[in-house]
Structure 1
């Protein structure tokens, strides 16, 4: 009786690669549920096997099972997700037959928060930046994108110009608070961000609320 390639993918990836060398057609086969070796390698975090299946045996990285789910739907580590998306080119926005992305599917099952956070960062295109934390994803600051229509000019200043110019802690607090709001990506949230940035550029203090009137031409 021949070895089950899906079991080999999980437990003996080296033996599976030997089997594939003998019969490369096995690489793209799927079982009765559409489950493939790419799905199996992703599920069991066999990173090198994933790479070889896609790069050497030309298995489509976006191969779907009967539920319309790619290998990204069955991963359990950020490493596997990153290799699939950033290295092998799998589109994270592909939806299953239930109209869910991989991130939405994981959220529905309330599993793997680190993977969910990584996939969400791909959707918002706002990478997390580790500040003064110990690496806890829940403490990582997500930097907001610059609002549309606002131009930022980068430059340098000498010591005399910089003397006494410390970042306004209230401005930083307000930016972080706004970025954490659920309506941050909405027009209202972006308008509020633009107002805060423009106030900071103009040198206006944020320690107290101020009234804002339309500028008179």
Structure 2
């Protein structure tokens, strides 16, 4: 009797790869519920098998089961989620038939909190980059500014009307900080250094208008 590829996906991924190389048509197969070998490899954390299915056998990474769920809905480790999203390009915002993303469903089931935290973090970062949750349009009015970089202190006090008018935030500075906060590299040392430079320039009183010099500051 021919071996069951789904059992091999769970217990013997190397044997499954050998079988698929003999009959590659098995790679993209799905059972009566739409469950695929991609789902199985992700669920059992067989990451090399997962990569091979997508890259070698060209199985669509966003293959869905009967509930509209991709393999991301069945992962049990952050490593598997990272491979699917960061290496293989699976969209973490895909929703199932109930309108849930993988992160939302895993969070609701409360079985794998680290996975839920990772996936929901990706969704939050994507929403911030788009300007609003779920990709809806939004203005930047009321947008929360990023935290002050480590090493800088901010003193909050009261100002009278004249002081308030004279010290309104420079709109160009605000725009540049918001653009920086939306960048993918914002949390990196380079992004934080750029934020620190903007804040230091603001404290130093530099103008951010069209006439601002772009030459490096000479100490």
Same fold flag (TM > 0.5): yes
Matches for 1:115-126 after TM superposition, within 5 Å? 115-125=115-125
Report the counterpart of residue 205 of structure 1 in structure 2: 155
Report the counterpart of residue 76 of structure 2 in structure 1: 76
Q: What's the CA shift for 1:111?
A: 2.1
State how far apart, in whole Å, the 2-side matches of 1:189 and 1:34 are: 42
State how far apart, in whole Å, the 1-side matches of 2:10 and 2:154 are: 60
Q: What's the CA shift for 1:2?
A: 1.4
Change (3 A) 1:60 1:212: farther
Report the counterpart of residue 58 of structure 1 in structure 2: 58
State how far apart, in whole Å, the 2-side matches of 1:204 and 1:88 are: 43
Uncovered stretches (5+) of structure 2, i.e. residues with no partner? 132-139, 169-219
State how far apart, in whole Å, the 2-side matches of 1:19 and 1:205 are: 67
Matches for 1:1-217 after TM superposition, within 5 Å? 1-125=1-125, 188=142, 190=144, 193=145, 205-206=155-156, 209-210=157-158, 213=161, 214-216=164-166
Change (3 A) 1:85 1:215: same
Paired residue secondary structure (2:68): coil
Report the counterpart of residue 134 of structure 2 in structure 1: none
State how far apart, in whole Å, the 1-side matches of 2:57 and 2:33 are: 21
Paired residue secondary structure (1:28): coil
Count the aligned residue pairs. 153
Q: Is the 8 A contact 2:104 2:120 kept in 1?
A: no
Uncovered stretches (5+) of structure 1, i.e. residues with no partner? 127-144, 149-185
Name the TM-score, length of structure 2 as normaliser: 0.63
